Homo-oligomer: A and B are copies of this chain.
Amino acid sequence: MSSFKTLRINHIALVVGELDAPLHFWRDGLGLALAQTEAVPEQQAEVAFLPVGESHVELVQPTTSDSGLARFLAKRGPGMHHVCVEVDNIRAALAHLKGLGFRLIDETPRLGHAGRQYAFIHPESAQGVLVELYELPPAGSQ
């Protein structure tokens, strides 16, 4: 059996052309709090984080015109971009997926904000859905 556990949906990410209209829907319409908005240079994007239960909604606005996100937005319009599931051992999860023959975008985790590790699985592996894996650092380690 696999040596990792999938814990929860960490977030769903929606790609948007600008932040005002989706904030109006998710914050004013559905009552979610806007926890923060931050620039994410590695994704060439501005991201708004809205917690909901143990997950959050991420609104991702491309800030350049030539990133993967910007091309996704130009081609498909705004909408769902990816779903991120949190695991307790991202390296074990990636090795397990690779061993089953699933196509990965990142074969080793990338290091993101605040010590989190993340990796993307190719949408070919999940019937067109782009799935991100997260492993958060142990509580209190930051």
Contact = CB atoms under 8 A, between A and B. Distances in A.
Given A25-B126, A128-B77, A85 B12 contact: no
* Most chain B beta-carbon contacts within 10 A, residue among A8, A14, A28, A126: A126
Interface of chain A, helix or strand or loop or mixed?
Answer: mixed
Interface in A49-76: 52-55
Nearest to A55: B9
A53 B52 contact: no
Nearest to A1: B31
Interface of A: 2, 4-9, 12, 14, 16-17, 21-22, 24-26, 28-32, 52-55, 77-80, 83, 85, 87, 93, 96-97, 100, 102, 123, 125-129, 131
